[in-house]
Structure 1
Amino acid sequence: MAQHQVRITSITTLFAGLDRMAAETSGGIVYFEDAAVANDMIARYMDTMRSHLYTAHPDARQSAQLKASIVRETRMLQRGIKMKTIYPDAARTRTAEREWARAASAHGAEVRTMVPNYVRMLVIDERCAIISDRDIGPAQPSSGYIITHPGMVRICTTFYRFLWDRAEPWMGERVRQISDTVTTGRGREILRKMEDGQTIDQMARVMGLSRGTINKEIKALYEATNTSSHFALGAWWGTTEERKLP
Structure 2
Amino acid sequence: MVGSNYSASGFAELDDLSASAYGQAVRMGRFERASIAATLSVSPEEVARTELVLRHLKLLQPMPGDPSVLVPVGPDVAAADLVGAAEAQIRDLQSAVTDVRTKLLSLTPLYFEGRRERNRVEAFDLINDATLVQSMINERRQQCHSEVLMIQPGGPRPPEVLSAARETAHEMLGRGVRVRTLYQHTARSDLPTRSYVREITEAGAEVRTADEVIDRLFIYDREIAFLPERTADPGRPPGAAVVREPTLVAFLCSVFDHLWDGATPFVPENPKAPATGDDVKRSIMRLMAKGFKDEMVARRLGMSVRTCRRHIAEITEEMEATSRFQAGFNVAVSGILAQLNDLI
- Normalization by structure 1: what TM-score? 0.67
CA contact (8 A) 2:186 2:280 kept: no
CA contact (8 A) 1:134 1:140 kept: no
Unaligned runs of 5+ in 2: 1-116, 300-304, 306-322
Q: Deviations over 1:159-183 (max 9, x none)?
A: 111111121101322654579xxx7
Q: For 2:239 and 2:179, locate their aligned partners in 1 and report how far apart those are by CA, in whole Å.
A: 24
Residue 74 of structure 1 corresponds to: 170
Q: Deviations over 1:91-150 (max 9, x none)?
A: 111122111101110100000111234211111001111112459xx9974233111111
Letter in 2 for 1:94: D
SS of equivalent to 2:170: helix
For residue 184 of structure 1, report the CA deviation from its aligned partner. Answer: 8.5
CA contact (8 A) 1:187 1:221 kept: no
RMSD: 3.5
Report which of the two has the higher share of helix.
2
1:184–1:40 Cα change, 3 Å: closer
Unaligned runs of 5+ in 1: 1-21, 227-232
- Counterpart of 1:58 (choices 153, 160, 173) is 153
Residue 170 of structure 1 corresponds to: 266
Count how many residue pairs are aligned between Structure 1 and Structure 2.
200
Residue 221 of structure 1 corresponds to: 331
* 2:190 maps to 1:89: no
Structure with bigger gyration radius: 2
Residue 44 of structure 1 corresponds to: 139
- Normalization by structure 2: what TM-score? 0.50
Identity across the alignment (%): 21
Structure with larger RCO (C-alpha < 8 A, sep 6+): 1
SS of equivalent to 1:27: helix
Q: For 2:235 and 2:342, locate their aligned partners in 1 and report how far apart those are by CA, in whole Å.
A: 34
Q: Deviations over 1:44-80 (max 9, x none)?
A: 2111111001111112322122112212211211211
For residue 34 of structure 1, report the CA deviation from its aligned partner. Answer: 2.7
- Counterpart of 2:296 (choices 205, 212, 221) is 205
CA contact (8 A) 1:84 1:110 kept: yes
For residue 42 of structure 1, report the CA deviation from its aligned partner. Answer: 1.1
- Counterpart of 1:104 (choices 195, 200, 222) is 200
